[in-house]
């Protein structure tokens, strides 16, 4: 006997108002989340302006890079570095790194996709696989932390320029406030 065929579906129509109420509450909650996210975005913009422009400029005008307060907290302005290779400039950026003796930063990932029962083929070298007509995907990249450290080292420690358009270089001063707890 088919138990499903014999079961009777019962819908409590009184529950539909509970469902509608919960759906309205969900919509209100989503709207609040959107509003709070927008407020957070604006607060982060204010934070960035204060941290990277206002306070560093005021401290520079005062001729100081660090300030200690009587309560033990301190305010310090330090350089901040960021870098990201835009996808449209990756080949050009990789060539620049290679030509300038920094090619060892580039990670080179070669991956192959195999179907079932192709374990033996997977163990062969990339060139052998190309000769057999198997698709080989190659991905080159520089880890973001490695790139950021490289840019900082080149600019701060070695006084060298790196092409900002190739590496999406962003250099700013950032304010760090340490409070005594």
Least confident stretch, 99-113, 123-137, 138-152:
123-137
Specify whether the backbone of 117 is left (phi greater than 0), alpha (psi in -120 to 50) or beta: left
**In terms of domains, do 156 and 100 share one?**
yes
**In terms of domains, do 91 and 119 share one?**
no
6 belongs to a structural domain: no
Residue 124: pLDDT over 70? no
**In terms of domains, do 98 and 147 share one?**
yes
Q: Encode 95-117: b = buried (16+ Cβ within 10 Å), e = exposed.
A: ebbeeeebeeebeeeeeeeeeee
Residue 47: pLDDT over 90? yes
Spatial contact of 136 and 156, defined as CB atoms under 8 Å apart? no
**In terms of domains, do 167 and 155 share one?**
yes
**pLDDT score for 175:** 79
**In terms of domains, do 23 and 89 share one?**
no
Full domain range(s) for residue 120: 110-138
10 belongs to a structural domain: no
Q: How far is CA 31 from CA 21, 23, 28, 37, 84, in A?
A: 15, 12, 5, 10, 33
**In terms of domains, do 81 and 120 share one?**
no
pLDDT tens for residues 10-37? Answer: 656 667 888 888 898 999 999 999 999 9
**In terms of domains, do 59 and 77 share one?**
no
Question: What's the domain count of the chain?
Answer: 3
Confidence tier at 125 by pLDDT (50, 70, 90): low
Which residues make beta-bridge pairs with 109? 139
- Show the beta-strand stretches assigned E in the chain: 66-68, 74-82, 107-112, 136-141, 170-178
- CB count within 10 Å of CB 59 equals 18
**In terms of domains, do 101 and 171 share one?**
yes
Q: What is the pTM of this model?
A: 0.56
**In terms of domains, do 97 and 151 share one?**
yes
Q: Which residues contact 52 (CB under 8 A, 6 or more apart)?
A: 80, 172, 173, 174, 175
pLDDT tens for residues 51-87? Answer: 999 999 999 999 998 999 888 899 999 988 999 999 8
């Amino acid at each position: 006997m088919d138990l499903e065929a014999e079961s009777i579906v019962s819908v409590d129509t009184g529950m539909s108002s509970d469902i509608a109420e919960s759906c309205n509450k969900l919509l209100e909650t989503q709207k609040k989340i959107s509003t709070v996210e927008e407020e957070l975005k604006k607060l982060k913009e204010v934070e960035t302006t204060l941290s990277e422009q206002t306070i560093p400029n005021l401290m520079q005008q005062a001729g100081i890079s660090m300030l200690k307060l009587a309560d033990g907290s301190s305010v310090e302005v330090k350089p901040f570095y960021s870098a990201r290779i835009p996808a449209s400039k990756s080949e050009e950026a990789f060539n620049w790194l290679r030509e300038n003796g920094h090619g060892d930063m580039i990670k080179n990932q070669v991956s192959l996709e195999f179907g079932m029962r192709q374990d033996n083929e997977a163990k062969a070298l990339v060139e052998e696989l190309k000769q057999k007509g198997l698709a080989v995907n190659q991905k080159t990249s520089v880890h973001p932390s490695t790139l950021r450290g490289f840019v900082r080292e080149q600019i701060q420690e070695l006084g060298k320029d790196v092409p900002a358009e190739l590496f999406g270089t962003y250099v700013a001063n950032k304010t760090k406030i340490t409070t005594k707890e």
